Amino acid sequence: MPYRTIIEPFRIHSVEAIDFPDLPQRQAALDRAGYNLFGLHADEVIIDLLTDSGTGAMSSEQWAGMMRGDESYAGSRSFYRFEAAIQKITGYSEIIPTHQGRAAERILFAAIVSAGDVVPNNTHFDTTRANVEYQDAEARDLVIAEGRDPSVLHPFKGNMDIDALEATIAEVGVDRIPFVMVTVTNNSGGGQPVSMENLRAVRAVCDRHDLPLILDACRFAENAWFINQREPGYEDVSPLEIAQEMFSLAHGCTMSAKKDGLANIGGFVAMNNPEVAQQCRNLLILTEGFPTYGGLAGYDLEAIAQGLEEVLHPEYLRYRIRSTAYLADKVHAAGVPVMRPPGGHAVYLDAKGLLPHIPAHAYPAQALAVELYRNGGVRGVEIGTVMFGKPVADGPDEPAPMELVRLAIPRRTYTQSHIDYVAEVVIDVAAEAESIGGYRIVEQPPWLRHFTARFEPI
């Protein structure tokens, strides 16, 4: 049935009402929040595409699992289910639960990153970069050139530039590189996948220099689906087997279960090295909790164990990736510049392309994100110079490589008509692009400024 609509592979079991703030209410909310969409209250938003992290709907099987949650402090049954679910996919022996992805990063990096180190990655996510920098180390992004250009078509725009990795190792020296990291899919670079061939090539470089390879595995299942769809030789390999092969090429991973764990909270660090795992567990006890719960409730461990099983179902992944592409294709067909091909979890609007009259230091992607909210109550997030630019004393910010607005799609949450509405808002705002002006920052913290900075229109 090749011409039939790919439908949501579920029916709705419980619903949550959405609010419809009108234009004056949305303007008042913007004024109060200092034009920072992180400052909005959820009831001021109509369609919330701020993040796909922890915002998805759980299945009836996950809710059933939550009722089985074992809240024992030590040795909970739920931990062993969680551990087995992760071991089945990753093959790693050491499984350490954390309350979310950045806690996994914080713990792993505190154990093995030292001041002056350099961590190569295809592209660090914002918290990953911040956690590297918090150890006084440098986070270096080495994605292929195609991955930095929103309009170039390439099946694996998340790939790491192997020559740049070799050059970094030659420049810095292996002693100052604690590990190489690859983010699947490459969130900050447009939710773009990494091919198995590229992972194999990165691993070969790591082996030559005796460096560990760590996956930032938040969206490993979406990456596995792209490999199945796009990489020769994987057409008939299941998402589970592809994921197993991806993890087998690395020595360990950090994970936010709020993405491809299909859960509302949770994460883990996993690896085969028992000594590093022991250091991580020591830190875990200090800040997260005992190693069989790591800051999570027993019921969270159950929800994640079940989610990790469901996320690899081909019918789920087919729907997931297709429904994201549906939004991207619709706005692209209307002439709105958008990152192509579409990523797995989000559509990235190219604000540099749409608002060429706004320079990077006046934050074109922030301006576009504000306009989508003002016009239609749609909340996205700026991924541009606000998030990744560098403030310069007495001068304009050093710009980020791209100015994107990310519309992240929560998993199993919105239907096709919600997404049609979002496309209409994007197209209406794009039609008035010339009248959109830039912003200046009036208040900002020393790091991760995008969460709390305040802006005013120029």
**Contact set with ligand F0G (CB under 6 A):** 51, 53, 100-102, 125, 127-128, 183, 187, 216, 218, 256, 258, 267, 408
Find the DSSP H helices in 141-219: 162-172, 196-209
Least Cβ distance, residue 409 to ligand F0G (angstroms): 11
Nearer to ligand F0G, 261 or 438 (CB): 261
Distances (CA, A) of 81 to 244, 278, 298, 395, 430: 18, 21, 10, 54, 48
Q: Tell me how far CA of residue 370 lies from CA of 45, 77, 127, 182, 334, in angstroms.
A: 12, 46, 23, 31, 21
Q: How far apart are CA 365 and CA 367, in angstroms?
A: 5
Least distance from ligand F0G to the Cβ atom of residue 27, Å: 25
Q: Which C-beta is closer to ligand F0G: that of 217 or that of 331?
A: 217
> Closest CB to ligand F0G among 122 and 292?
122
Query: How far apart are CB 186 and ligand F0G at their closest, in Å?
Result: 8
Check: CB of residue 416 under 8 Å from CB of residue 329: no
Q: How many angstroms separate the CA atoms of 117 and 111, rounded? A: 13
**Is 109 or 299 the residue whose CB approaches ligand F0G more closely?**
109
Query: If you ran DSSP here, which 8-state letter would residue 42 be given?
Result: G
CA distances from 415 to 15, 418, 421 (A): 12, 5, 10
Q: Between 330 and 379, whose beta carbon lies closer to ligand F0G?
A: 379
Residue 101 C-beta: closest distance to ligand F0G, Å: 2
Q: Tell me, what DSSP letter sits at residue 147?
A: G
Q: What is the smallest separation between the CB atom of 122 and ligand F0G, expressed in angstroms?
A: 10
- Alpha-carbon span 367 to 384, nearest angstrom: 11
Nearer to ligand F0G among residue 102 and residue 320 (C-beta) = 102
Q: Is 14 exposed, middle or buried (0-12, 13-18, 19+ CB in 10 A)?
A: exposed
Least distance in angstroms from the C-beta of 216 to ligand F0G: 5
Name the residue with the smallest CB distance to ligand F0G.
101
d(CA 437, CA 187): 27
CB of 171 to ligand F0G, least distance (A): 25
Closer of 82 and 358 to ligand F0G (Cβ): 82
Q: Give Cα separations from 88 to 93, 120, 255 (angstroms).
A: 10, 28, 15
Is the CB of 44 or the CB of 216 nearer to ligand F0G? 216
Q: How far is the CB of 382 from ligand F0G (least distance, A)?
A: 12
